Structure 1
Amino acid sequence: MHGKQLQEHAAARAEELPGSELTHPFGDDWDVYKVCGKIFMLFSEVDQQPVVILKSAPSDAKALVEGVADITPGYHMNKKHWITLHGGGTLDGQLVDDLVTESYLLVLEKLPRRVRPVDPATFGR
């Protein structure tokens, strides 16, 4: 996927997730997706290139950054827990869907059970 196509694909997946909401707390240049008020995905441009920033388990983040050309540590985020996807053409739709879903589930796991829109242990299984 290239450029804006990456962001459009990730946004489409995020909009399918229960309780997902698009916000702009950092201004119009940042699209921020939240679940129950907690961020799981951000969009912006870095060096005039569209990027998608997602939460990731530390071991997964390390492996992805080391093994996938278009994934780098999280831009302006904790480099251990966040990754940045770039639209250089090496990412496919299924991987993007999986990474968006995983980011969402990582955030849900930290929320009190009573506010979760779905159970992260069984969602999508």
Structure 2
Amino acid sequence: MNFATLRAYLAAKPGAVEDFPFDHVTLVFKVGEKMFALVATDVDPLRINLKCDPEKAEILRDCFPSVLPGYHMNKRHWNTVVLDGSIPDEDVLAMIDDSYGLVVQGLPKARRPV
């Protein structure tokens, strides 16, 4: 998956906002002011941090060598996914959907996207 495809998919999520709050290379996607994806734009292959249910996070790490504990994140709740082509795009998109869903679910109803 290339950067343009990844960015377009993330930006298409309802209520998604992109920002560079930490530095000029870490692209952050938020919904309701909460992060659901962080993309390291200065590395090859690309890496993306995604929120994940703790039990599922462990399963994904066991299934895919390119799914690692979340870099600079709570390693129980976040995974870093190395986009080196070893994970089918459909699975990466499903991980993004799960991350987005977990964040939206945790938002107060008034801050959830319509």
Q: TM-score, normalised by structure 1?
A: 0.83
For structure 2, the residue ranges without an aligned partner over 5 or more in a row are none
User: Do structure 1's residue 34 and structure 2's residue 30 form an aligned pair?
Assistant: yes
Contact between 1:14 and 1:101, CA under 8 Å: does it hold in 2? no
Partner of 2:94: 98
Secondary structure at the residue paired with 2:56? helix
Partner of 1:70: 66
For structure 1, the residue ranges without an aligned partner over 5 or more in a row are 119-125
1:1-125 equivalences under 5 Å are 1=1, 5=2, 7-44=3-40, 49-118=45-114
User: Aligned pair count?
Assistant: 114
Identity fraction in percent: 33
Secondary structure at the residue paired with 1:97? helix
Change (3 A) 1:49 1:28: same
Instruction: Give the alignment's Cα RMSD to 1 decimal.
Output: 1.7
